[in-house]
Homo-oligomer: A and B are copies of this chain.
Amino acid sequence: MSKKIPIEVCFSPVMYHRFHNDEAIVVIVDILRATSAICTAFENGVNQIIPVQTLDEAYEYKKKGFLVAAERDGIKCDFADFGNSPFNFTPNVVKDKTLVYSTTNGTQAIHMAEKAYKVVVGSFLNLSALTDFLAYHKRPVVIFCAGWKDRFSLEDTLFAGSLAEKLLETNLFFTICDSATASIDLWSIARNNVMAYIEKAAQRHRLKKNGLDDVLEYCFTHDLTSLVPEFKNNVLIVEKYCENINNFSQNENKISN
């Protein structure tokens, strides 16, 4: 039997320096709502997403005519086309477009992990596809919860637990990471009634306060997409798009030659 591959879970950006591994695939998780929204945008045909860390950067892109999604503390920024509800990213809005995206926690985490072997975007919406992707690549996995302002987040942890559990079920992976163990155990408590469990989460109350909790059930729906967005050369893409780009470039080269 070949050697099993480690799974680790990082609960906050401020802990990430202890988890960074050049050889690992890092899964960015910000369930309410950034990574759920990103998966939705790709399912609905967005070409690429440029995640930016600051609102200044987002604003610069807006001035250049880009479509911009930007929020802080869950609230859409004035200059932006929309905030980070996945319900904004409908096919008529995003199809074949480039989207610029800045959120409170999620986009920062994407940039922090950029030196890893691969950085991919995870949500319940692409849970099974992500599991297949990780099982295919057979690399150490770091599930990186974006959390909330450096804090632990219950909804990101439930996703980490569900993904870790599915990876363990492949028999390719193992874990000795306390955060992974805790995530799996919390998922085991929550799984039979996630909507009831998530009532306890702070972010659920933040969203409710701002009238933004219409996305809850959607964000905990499994496998609405088979796409795994990946962060490459400072943009989020899906491999299919990537391959098209490559084919297109090769064809172009052939034509121009």
Interface residues of A (CB under 8 A from B): 11-12, 14-15, 17-18, 148-154, 157, 176-179, 181-182, 185-186, 188-189, 200-203, 205
The answer to whether A15 and B178 touch across the interface, beta carbons within 8 angstroms, is no
> 9 new A-B pairs (CB below 8 Å) besides A18-B150, A176-B202?
A11-B12, A15-B152, A151-B178, A152-B152, A153-B178, A177-B202, A178-B200, A185-B189, A186-B186
From A178, A179, A189, A200, name the one whose CB has the most chain B CB atoms within 10 angstroms.
A178
Closest CB of chain B to A112's CB: distance in Å? 13
Copies of this chain held together in the complex: 2
CA distance A174 to B11 in the complex (A): 23
CA distance A176 to B153 in the complex (A): 12
With contacts A15-B14, A18-B149, A189-B189 known, is A154 near B182, CB below 8 A? yes
CA distance A188 to B18 in the complex (A): 28
CA distance A161 to B109 in the complex (A): 28
The answer to whether B202 and A178 touch across the interface, beta carbons within 8 angstroms, is yes
Which 7 pairs from chain A and chain B are nearest by CB? A154-B178, A14-B14, A152-B179, A181-B200, A18-B150, A178-B202, A185-B189
The answer to whether A151 and B182 touch across the interface, beta carbons within 8 angstroms, is no
Give every chain B residue within 8 A of A12 (Cβ-Cβ).
11-12, 14-15
Contact of A150 among B15, B149, B176, B188 (CB under 8 A): B15
Give every chain B residue within 8 A of A201 (Cβ-Cβ).
178, 181
CA distance A11 to B202 in the complex (A): 16
The answer to whether A179 and B150 touch across the interface, beta carbons within 8 angstroms, is no
Give every chain B residue within 8 A of A203 (Cβ-Cβ).
178
Contact of A154 among B15, B150, B181, B202 (CB under 8 A): B181
Give every chain B residue within 8 A of A17 (Cβ-Cβ).
150
Closest CB of chain B to A250's CB: distance in Å? 45
The answer to whether A152 and B189 touch across the interface, beta carbons within 8 angstroms, is no
Give every chain B residue within 8 A of A185 (Cβ-Cβ).
185-186, 189
Of chain B, the residue at the smallest CB distance from A177 is B202
CA distance A194 to B239 in the complex (A): 45
Of chain B, the residue at the smallest CB distance from A158 is B182
Give every chain B residue within 8 A of A177 (Cβ-Cβ).
202
Give every chain B residue within 8 A of A153 (Cβ-Cβ).
178
The answer to whether B151 and A18 touch across the interface, beta carbons within 8 angstroms, is yes
